[in-house]
Amino acid sequence: MASSSRRRLSPRTLMQEFDDSEDEQLLFSDSSDSYVANMSSSDSESDSDDFTEEVESIRTWIAKEPTQNNPAPPRFPFTGEPGQKVPCDPNPLAYLKLFLDEAIIQIIVEETNRYAEQQPGPFRRFARGKRWEPVTHDDIWLFLAILILQGVVGKPRQTSYWSTNRLIATPFFATVMSENRFSLIMKNLHFMNNETFDEATHPAPKLWKIYDLFQMVIRKFQSVYVPERDVSVDESLMAYKGRLAWKQYISSKHARFGIKSFELCKSNSGYIWNAIIYTGKGTQFDPSYSQFGLASASVLSLISPLLGQGYCLTTDNYYTSPELYEHLIRHKTDSYGTVRPNRRNLPSAFSAQKLKPGEITAWQKGKLMALRWKDKKDVSVLSTVHNTDTAAAKNRAGKTIQKPQVILDYNQTMGGVDRADQCITFYPVVRKQQRKYYKKIFRHLVEQCLWNSYVLYKKQNDRPLPHFDYILKVCEEICLQHQQPQSEANRPGRRASYVVNPVRLTGRHFVEHVPPTERKATPTRMCVMCCSKRGPNGKKVRKETRFYCPECDVGLCAVPCFKIFHTQEVY
């Protein structure tokens, strides 16, 4: 009985029985073939008990001595094809149009006009809504330019951008679009037909007003650029304190209250490649990962298109778990990150042992390593590509200490999402006063498109513009390509109305006579320089001139107004 209950198996038989378990096969994936090869080559030479012990070291957690001689598990071969997949002109606006293409702008135009038509007519005699005119592609682009510029020129109220008070006046905004026109577009801004919405069939009913546009933008992020090997997943919080059932509170974030989203970014550049907006119980994750918890399902849904290509994922302790990492190993994806020491399926003694400062303790389970290191406090990490090796590094006090290599690599590759959020907040398109959640999400999408376009612009240019100058250049190009000077300048009842040419200080401009019309052989126009002044009595000056600048399409006196207008920043 004793011999039958504890039969001795040959190494090959034991290997076959072990391979029958699907859960254990993940430990023998491509990168772990060396383990299998070493075991199989010792069929006739090694003892069965030794082989069983080696198999158990892959099946269960085994304590490892923190020495410099332990080989690190090999990485999966990277088979992805990173880089920009859609060519474009070197013009900064062309990079932005990779994401905000004509299809997206057309949806905004159609749904905004449709929503305006669906609204009941204004009842007041002089209501602003009576002056509504259907928007065009050019209108939407100029509207976007103003949104972007508002992130650069910060003012406390929306109407302040059109103020004529000399203390805070910014004349350029009024020359791009009137305050009435901007407010009407913002009021009617829409992205979905209200009449076709069906809550029972919609995949994300809480996001239905922005869901289709959001998905289109995310697909653009993925099709335009493929990231390099190292990517990271983290959560982002867009500040929002309005009334919203799925608003989140995260104390560690600067905003604290807002709309949370899970994002996958390229580690070193912060390029946003994928994102999922969290709406509580109805959040749309990939249905094939329904058996996982929230943290693991969010990670797998984000990285799903990149699985099987040898990518390396970095996560923080909210997402990291042995269950998640073993699934990633099964799909040829490496990973590492901090972990909560009380996670399920970690070694029972992982969090129990007390460490002294600088001391390391580690466990190994096939390709997966769990490590704890004592600095000022305990730091716990999981990794599929590291061992217990340490390297010299300087702490905040400037003192050189020995840190585990996995922690140094984590600090280098985890900041993708934080880097994107930080750079976006320098010039925010989102404003606190925006009440409608879907309009605020749209503003955030514009921020993300602008940031991703700048990342690609820097990659394709040897001497790229700084972020600030890049944003100004984008707005300048929008005005040059989409502004219609004639429609603004000839609007009746307006004095000295004109559109500022952004290159008026750098282009080649020549004075000409105002061309004749059907009514007048020698027509005149108001000089924008003279009419911007006030006379001794405090009233505005009205002065006609027969000369104008055809490039800027403004009336100007030949002397000295033409020279002043094209050489001075302030006029």
Does the pLDDT value for residue 311 go beyond 80? yes
Which range (97-101, 201-205, 308-312) has the least confidence? 201-205
Structure tokens at 21: 């378990």
Give the confidence band of 254 by pLDDT, cuts at 50, 70, 90.
confident
Give the confidence band of 435 by pLDDT, cuts at 50, 70, 90.
confident
Which range (130-144, 335-349, 533-547) has the least confidence? 533-547
Does the pLDDT value for residue 226 go beyond 90? yes
Give the confidence band of 22 by pLDDT, cuts at 50, 70, 90.
very low
Give the confidence band of 26 by pLDDT, cuts at 50, 70, 90.
very low
What φ, ψ does residue 391 adopt, rounded to 5°? -145, 155
Which range (6-10, 65-69, 332-336, 434-438) has the least confidence? 6-10
As beta bridge partners, residue 374 has 378
Q: Are 96 and 398 in contact, with CB atoms under 8 Å apart? A: no
Model pLDDT, residue 485: 58
Does the pLDDT value for residue 58 go beyond 70? no
Does the pLDDT value for residue 12 go beyond 60? no
Between 365 and 255, the more confident residue is 365
Q: Are 369 and 383 in contact, with CB atoms under 8 Å apart? A: yes
Angstrom distance (rounded) from CA 122 to CA 130: 7
Angstrom distance (rounded) from CA 92 to CA 506: 18
Give the confidence band of 510 by pLDDT, cuts at 50, 70, 90.
confident
Model pLDDT, residue 130: 80
- Using DSSP's 3-state secondary structure scheme, residue 197 falls into coil
Q: How many residues does the chain have?
A: 571
Q: What is the largest CA-CA distance in the chain?
A: 120
DSSP labels for 467-500? HHHHHHHHHHHHHHHH--HHHHHT-TT-SS----
Model pLDDT, residue 31: 40
Does the pLDDT value for residue 87 go beyond 60? yes
H or E stretch including 147? helix 137-152
Average pLDDT over all residues of the chain:
84
The pTM assigned to this predicted structure is 0.79
As beta bridge partners, residue 259 has 238
Q: Report the first-to-last Cα separation within the chain, whole angstroms.
A: 103
Express each pLDDT in 485-498 by its tens digit.
Answer: 544 334 433 333 44
373-378 long-range contacts, CB within 8 A, separation 24+: 373/403, 373/404, 373/407, 375/403, 378/341
Angstrom distance (rounded) from CA 44 to CA 55: 16
Q: Characterize the bridge pairing of strands 378-383 and 368-374.
A: antiparallel
Tell me the average pLDDT across 350-377: 90
CA atoms within 13 A on the CB side of 268: 9
Angstrom distance (rounded) from CA 513 to CA 558: 10
Express each pLDDT in 155-177 by its tens digit.
Answer: 999 999 999 888 899 989 998 99
Q: Are 143 and 185 in contact, with CB atoms under 8 Å apart? A: yes
Model pLDDT, residue 504: 60
Model pLDDT, residue 44: 37
Which is nearest to 233 in space by CA: 210, 264, 212, 254?
264
CA-to-CA separations, 164 to 168, 172, 261, 284, 532, in angstroms, rounded: 8, 11, 39, 47, 12
CA-to-CA separations, 400 to 379, 380, 397, 412, in angstroms, rounded: 18, 21, 9, 18
Model pLDDT, residue 503: 59
Which is nearest to 378 in space by CA: 317, 465, 334?
317
Structure tokens at 556: 């100007």
Q: Are 241 and 257 in contact, with CB atoms under 8 Å apart? A: yes
Dihedral sign of CA atoms 309, 312, 314, 318 in order: positive
Does the pLDDT value for residue 45 go beyond 60? no
Model pLDDT, residue 38: 40
Residue 252: CB atoms within 10 A of its CB come to 7
List Cβ neighbours of 169 (8 Å cut-off, separation of 6 or more). 163
CA-to-CA separations, 531 to 164, 173, 509, 556, in angstroms, rounded: 15, 19, 21, 10
Angstrom distance (rounded) from CA 58 to CA 24: 8
Which range (319-323, 345-349, 500-504) has the least confidence? 500-504
Between 55 and 195, the more confident residue is 195
Does the pLDDT value for residue 441 go beyond 80? yes
